Structure 1
Amino acid sequence: MLAQPLTQMNRIVKATYLLLLVTLVSSQSLLAQSADFLARVEKDEGYVKATNTQIAYKDGVPKPINFVSDYENLFKDSEEKELNKIISDFEGKTTVEIAVITVDATMVSKDDLDGYALKVAQKWGLGKPEKDNGVIILLSLGHRTLIMRGGSGIANRLNNTQINEIVASKATPQLKSGAYFLGIKDSVLALIDLLK
């Protein structure tokens, strides 16, 4: 009779150990892929200190924190981690890099947001250099604006009509209701579905 609870306990211990091992391995993979993206940015010496939480280029482009750079503080840490993992896993399978940046109204004027998104993508070296296969999602709650742009290397799989559809069907309804994380997550998942 005592052997049965011990056997069940052994299974629980083994399952817990296996779950811990899988989590550790996937965390190391996320760190390695994020490090590759950030290492390319670190080579540029044009950074100046802006605040304790933001490093900016002299021309006002912030340094990426990870695939998700939440300068407007819209996401919980757990949400940011989840988005980074989704994007990192996808990048690992396809080499397509997706960057999400949130900017507050003091970082850039509303009229400059589209050009600013392009400037951020270029400064960060978004997408593999030989493929130009990056996607940037820029959200400014202060300006009530979401911008999504893809590199020329994925234009055959992601066009402006598809981008507008993702924004209209996935992002806008969630953002209007205050569900910022879900709006961005749903948009990222829709992008991944198109680009896989």
Structure 2
Amino acid sequence: MRCQKAILFLLIILSYISSSCTTQETESQNQSIELASSDSKARKFPKPIGYINDFENVFTDEQEQELTKLLTGYNQETTNAIAVITVSSIEPYSDFDQYALEISEEWGVGEKGKDNGLTILFSKKLQRIRISTGLGTERILTNEVCQRIIDHTIVPKLKEGKFFEGISSGLVELIEQWKQTDNHVTI
């Protein structure tokens, strides 16, 4: 009888250990599925390559270098960061503005804690442009200021097919506006 109880006890323990390992294995599989789905979310957006991310090939190499020089100098002077992104597609998104907000968030332009980043997303093919700002930036470069720069500085040049000139002059105006406001902020 004792032998039967001991065997039964061992079978119960083995059964418990076996089911426990299966549960852990399933949890492990679930974690890798979650990681894979998280990775696939990140893959919705192209990987950032610098200040100028010309995935639509709108700019010449010389134009990219000139824009990079402008944005690098501004970042070194102020720590504020600006990224320019050109895309020909926003798939799987259908809303350009939502895509712009989420790619800006995903890329994390600007310094953490300062939220001093700004992203210009432009698509020649889709004929759309959006400026997204970090929380710290939007206190200075409000939606109204950004929209005015888009409407009065950038879009007129884009309509003429002068993509570099439109983005470049928009960047210069954004930087000037940012500097003027930064200089007038009192602590």
The question of a shared fold, defined as TM-score above 0.5 by the shorter chain, is answered with yes
Distance in 2, Cα, partners of 1:91 & 1:47: 29
Q: CA deviation at 1:108?
A: 2.8
CA distance in 2, matches of 1:70, 1:193: 23
Cα distance in 2, alignment partners of residues 136 and 145 from structure 1: 14
With normalisation by structure 1, the TM-score equals: 0.68
3-state SS, counterpart of residue 95 of structure 2: helix
Distance in structure 2 (CA, Å) of the matches to 1:80 and 1:124: 19
Kindly state the Cα deviation for residue 156 of structure 1 after the two structures are TM-superposed.
2.3
Conserved 8 A contact 2:52-2:64: yes
Distance in 1 separating the partners of 2:108 and 2:143: 21
Contact 1:72 1:103 in 2 (8 A): yes
Name the amino acid aligned to 1:122: E
Report whether the alignment pairs 1:143 with 2:119. Answer: no
Structure 1 residue 109 displacement after superposition: 6.3
Partner letter of residue 79 of structure 1? Q
Shift of the 162–74 alpha-carbon distance from structure 1 to 2, 3 Å rule, reads same
* Residue of structure 2 aligned with 1:80, choices 64, 72, 81: 64
Aligned residue among 163, 167, 173 for 2:156? 173
- Structure 1 gap segments, 5+ residues each: 1-45, 49-55
Q: What's the CA shift string for 1:60-103, capped at 9, x where partnerless?
A: 11111110100110000000010011001001111111000000
Please point out which of 37, 57, 63 is paired with 2:42.
57
Query: Which secondary structure state, in structure 1, belongs to the residue aligned with residue 94 of structure 2?
Result: helix
Aligned length: 143
8 Å CA contact 2:97–2:130 kept in 1: the answer is yes
Q: Distance in 2 between matches of 1:133 and 1:176?
A: 30
* Superposition map of 1:1-196 within 5 A: 57-58=42-43, 60-105=44-89, 107-108=90-91, 111-196=94-179
The structure in which a higher percent of residues are helix is: 2
Larger Cα-atom Rg: 2
TM-score of the superposition, structure 2-length normalised?
0.71
Taking only the aligned residue pairs, the percentage that are identical comes to: 36
Could you tell me which runs of 5 or more consecutive residues in structure 2 were left unpaired when the two chains were aligned: 1-37, 180-187
